[in-house]
Amino acid sequence: MRTRTRLPTLLVGLVLALLVGDAEPDPVRFLAVVDDAPAVAHDLRLQGAGVRLVTETTVDTVVATATPRQLERLGRDARVREVTVLGEPRRGEFDVVRDAPEALPTHQPIVYVLDSRVDFENEWFTDDDADLVAADGYSLYTESDDRDCARHGTGVASVIAGRHGLVRGVTVVPITVVCGWVDLEALLGGLEWVADNHPEGVPAVLNASLTLPDVPALAQAVVHLTDLGIAQFWSAGNAGIDACSKLRASTHEHIFIVGSTTKGFDVETNYGPCVDAFAVGERIVTGVVGENNSNRMSGTSLSSPRVASIGLRILQEDPDLTAHQVYERVLAGSEQGRIRHAGEGSPDRYLRLDNAGWHYEGRHAEDERRAAITAPREQPPAGVAHL
């Protein structure tokens, strides 16, 4: 479990822990937002702390493990602005970072899949007609986790690209930050990798089929990617609550939040004004780990890549658009009057590729047609905002 705390409060607790017993308490894993991250990391190493991650492109942070004595010394450092205490990683092999062996391709749009790993050996990704490039990306896990340990990223990526995907002619770059849970260290490292390795001038979207934690350092990293021109599509979440309760308004201005409906257009996921639009996310056929395997998945994890695919199609037609211009084009293709029981403050916006003027074939096309045929043409109930 992760908790955030002000540095003075943290140090008081650590000093008390030192006074209670003779034994040195176990090292604490923490995230520090600092000025001049490389210099702070260097000093921590000299003190014997275990530095795990240093970011400076998106936001200056250091993730490290340190004893209470080392943290007390860090607290007196004027370069430290905020500390977040992190729980222990849930897997032992949590410190392997793969750098791209060579520059990412630049001849077609890129989709960064921020998720668990993508199994490119699945038959959904072996169709030459899809014109798909599978690129090496970022991972915080060891080789044993190469086949998508969470059985999630493969399905999400297959919605976007591949044999039955919604988009042809893209480069898929897995940003592996999930292995059954979401860790702040992994998220920061993944976003930093994208910022460091994204080829300048190449149109790109990032799909994150997970909810964005309300952490200032992460918010800064997200804003930096938007400034680079990378349109970001994040899941609203499936808890059935107001999405604004988990997202700061200043961050929402820079990303696109996708909610999910059933094929009957009922909303059963997070809702509210922080959701930009909805798309069908019920029982979507996807690829899954293994050469010939497929599965059906549901939720905002599936609606988000469907909307990210619209963003990719837009960039294929106009690669010079900024991220915010992509969001505007996506919203311009939304349809009103379909969504039911959307929740208080939710937008009356439904998205599918056909709305935006594109037509496609394959399994996902059948999902879209079935939804369009069965959806009642009625006005949404009270509580749905017409925006």
* Cα angle 324, 222, 351; round to 5: 45
Nearest to 364 by CA among 290, 307, 293: 307
* Integer Cα distance of 100 and 116 in angstroms: 17
* Integer Cα distance of 216 and 234 in angstroms: 17
**For residue 251, how far is the Cα from the chain centroid?**
13
Question: Any idea what DSSP says for residue 100?
Answer: P
Q: Side-chain half-sphere of 170: how many Cα atoms within 13 Å?
A: 35
For the chain, give the mean pLDDT. Answer: 76
Return the CATH superfamily for domain 110-385.
Peptidase S8/S53 domain (3.40.50.200)
The lowest-confidence range among 116-130, 244-258, 335-349 is 116-130
Give the model's confidence band at 386: pLDDT under 50 very low, under 70 low, under 90 confident, else very high. Answer: very low
The lowest-confidence range among 43-47, 227-231, 298-302, 312-316 is 298-302
pTM: 0.82
Per residue in 301-355, pLDDT (tens digit) is: 778 898 999 999 999 999 999 999 999 999 999 888 887 787 888 888 988 875 4
Q: What's the pLDDT at 295?
A: 64
The lowest-confidence range among 18-22, 190-194, 301-305, 346-350 is 18-22
- Quick one: what percent of the chain has pLDDT higher than 70? 67
Give the model's confidence band at 299: pLDDT under 50 very low, under 70 low, under 90 confident, else very high. Answer: low
Q: Which residues contact 361 (CB under 8 A, 6 or more apart)?
A: none
* pLDDT at residue 371 is higher than 70: no
Residues of the chain with CATH 3.40.50.200: 110-385
Across the chain, how many H-helices and E-strands are there? 10, 17
Q: What's the pLDDT at 213?
A: 83
Per residue in 100-117, pLDDT (tens digit) is: 556 888 889 999 999 877
Tokens 């993508």 belong to which residue? Answer: 118
CB atoms within 10 A of CB 312: 28
In what helix (H) or strand (E) does residue 231 lie, and over which residues does it extend?
strand 230-235
Task: Identify whether the C-beta of residue 345 lies closer than 8 Å to the C-beta of residue 271.
Answer: yes
In what helix (H) or strand (E) does residue 62 lie, and over which residues does it extend?
strand 61-66
Q: How far is CA 125 from CA 152, 288, 290, in A?
A: 15, 11, 11
Radius of gyration of the chain (CA): 22
The residue that leads in pLDDT, 301 or 30, is: 30
* Integer Cα distance of 240 and 173 in angstroms: 30
Give the model's confidence band at 266: pLDDT under 50 very low, under 70 low, under 90 confident, else very high. Answer: low
* Integer Cα distance of 302 and 84 in angstroms: 31
Tokens 């916006």 belong to which residue? Answer: 349
Q: What's the pLDDT at 165?
A: 81
Tokens 């549901």 belong to which residue? Answer: 298
CB atoms within 10 A of CB 232: 27
The residue that leads in pLDDT, 152 or 27, is: 27
Span 60-73, mean pLDDT?
A: 90
* pLDDT at residue 368 is higher than 50: no
Q: Which residues contact 26 (CB under 8 A, 6 or more apart)?
A: none
The residue that leads in pLDDT, 3 or 52, is: 52
Per residue in 204-216, pLDDT (tens digit) is: 999 998 888 888 8
Residues of the chain with CATH 3.30.70: 3-86
In what helix (H) or strand (E) does residue 80 lie, and over which residues does it extend?
strand 80-86
Nearest to 62 by CA among 87, 88, 44: 44
- 3-86 CATH: 3.30.70
